[in-house]
Amino acid sequence: MSRFSQIAMGLLLLAAGYVLGASQSFQSPTLHAQQNSGTPTEETEDKIKRGVKQLVEAQSALEQENFMRTATKGLNAFATSCGGVNALEDLEAGNGVDPETFAGLYAGLAKPDVATHLGRDDQGRITYKNKIVRMYPVSRLKKLFATRLKYSGENQDDATGF
């Protein structure tokens, strides 16, 4: 075989290899031990639904017993799991609100009677009657989490990781 034939054959094999590699003809699909579908299993969804139903019932009971007044629409799982908060009173006092109320106000979920008093300052922060809405101080959050531990039955050391 002439030198030219050898070079041509080498280039042909190189080109064929490149084309086959680029087309991924011989590549097997990636295998995973467990593929996540992006949603929880049906069993987990049922547990979530039962849990939310229980929280809604607990929130309703707290409201009836005057341990809770919400400023946002729907369930406030944090406040409910802590034995209730008075978010309306907290807004009026300007001393901060629970994390879920804070998030709900920013998400546009304020109850209509609260929404009429909401605005934004020049930095885009939510205001209630011209006072910046803040989250509770850390000391109050720690007290609420401690109260929640009482209801959850968890050991405080287990829940905090210390």
pLDDT at 98: 97
Burial category of 68 from C-beta neighbours within 10 Å (exposed 0-12, middle 13-18, buried 19 and up): buried
pLDDT tens per residue, range 78-103 = 999 999 999 999 999 999 999 999 99
pLDDT at 57: 97
Nearest Cα to Cα of residue 143 among 92, 96, 94: 96
**If pLDDT is split at 50, 70 and 90, which confidence band does 104 have?**
very high
Distance CA 36, CA 161 (A): 28
Any idea where the domains of the chain sit in the sequence? Answer: 52-149
**If pLDDT is split at 50, 70 and 90, which confidence band does 162 have?**
very low
Cβ–Cβ < 8 Å for 59, 80: yes
pLDDT tens per residue, range 144-157 = 999 999 998 876 55
Averaged pLDDT, 38-45? 92
Phi, psi of 119 (to 5 degrees): -155, -165
Distance CA 34, CA 41 (A): 13
The pLDDT mean for the chain works out to: 88
- Does pLDDT of 33 surpass 60? no
Q: pTM of whole model > 0.85? A: no
